[in-house]
Structure 1
């Protein structure tokens, strides 16, 4: 969508959505939100605990409600969780309410970045590589469907450099829409 008041980052876990999103928000002087952090702040519970108590279905319901609220704002940068694109309404909100950036990461890059991460419920699998490959097969076509811009996020390097590269791409491809309503 162009012009668009918001920037939404989608992609797999470990792609750098939160890290790059924060820096993009700072560079554009826009408020930043991380969907999972907002769910945790709203519920008072960690995502892993919500998964444990309510299962993935319960978490996805909470995620959809928070995504609807955050995408209704104007002039924000939002980093979504990897599975936020699974719901049809979520995809519609992302597509209609902002410019969608797909930070695409290879499974190898994800494994390197998430090597020490033990908090993500969907990574609790006997073989992390197989699990990430399954998620990619399911979700990559969805990311491709809704993305206005696809950016490779394969290195384990400097996120500031990645944010500046993305900034250059956005300056060429994104026109900020009306942001009259405060975030």
Structure 2
């Protein structure tokens, strides 16, 4: 079994991914981390030096490289679903869980997370609230059509979310 975690920034993909991987005794992959390791640059540096197009190209290749992985949780970058091929790959090659949160929760987490300024490049030239509202609204239909399971991470603890995922996966595996 392979499980893809999709969702916007700060919805818990990495945190939850690591926890569910431990619970299931699966491997854990973070596609953004693999991209950084592959190029020896942070995501922000990649975007600044090579642009979003190059980043998306590398992101797609990293995703395709997971084809033969088994018993793996794959935490993806928030925009991976922009590419239709990526959507189809994810949907066909594993169980896809969409982690989402309300806008206020995402903004609070982005402001609280010290990685936001240094590692998360702006997606538009708008302020954080405007950008988040705009991008989330654009991506919701893509997340919906790609995912098999949808989980709100706004109000539950990571442990509670892992329990929810574990219960839902048991239904999928039967």
TM over 0.5: yes
Distance 2:91 2:141 in 1: 15
Query: Scaled by the length of structure 2, what TM-score is found?
Result: 0.92
The alignment of Structure 1 onto Structure 2 pairs a total of residues equal to 170
Greater Cα offset, 74-83 or 159-168: 159-168
**Residues 107-160 of structure 1, C-alpha deviations (whole Å, 9 max, x = no match):** 1111111104212103674421110111111111000001100001113x6312
Question: How well do the aligned residues superpose, as a CA RMSD in angstroms?
Answer: 1.6
Offset of residue 74 of structure 1: 1.9
Distance 1:84 1:72, change over 3 A: farther
Distance 1:62 1:153, change over 3 A: same
Long gaps (5+) in structure 2: none
Distance 2:44 2:50 in 1: 10
**Residues 7-61 of structure 1, C-alpha deviations (whole Å, 9 max, x = no match):** 0000000100000011111111110000100111111111110000111111101
Equivalent runs, 1:29-178 vs 2, <5 Å? 29-116=25-112, 117-118=116-117, 119-122=119-122, 125-155=125-155, 158-172=157-171, 174-175=172-173
**Residues 55-112 of structure 1, C-alpha deviations (whole Å, 9 max, x = no match):** 1111101100101102442221100010001111111110110000000111111111
Distance 1:124 1:136, change over 3 A: closer
Of structures 1 and 2, the one with the larger relative CO (CA 8 A, separation 6+) is 1
Query: Scaled by the length of structure 1, what TM-score is found?
Result: 0.87
Distance 1:63 1:43 in 2: 11
Distance 2:148 2:138 in 1: 19
- The 8 Å contact of residues 48 and 120 in structure 1, kept in 2 or not, is answered as yes
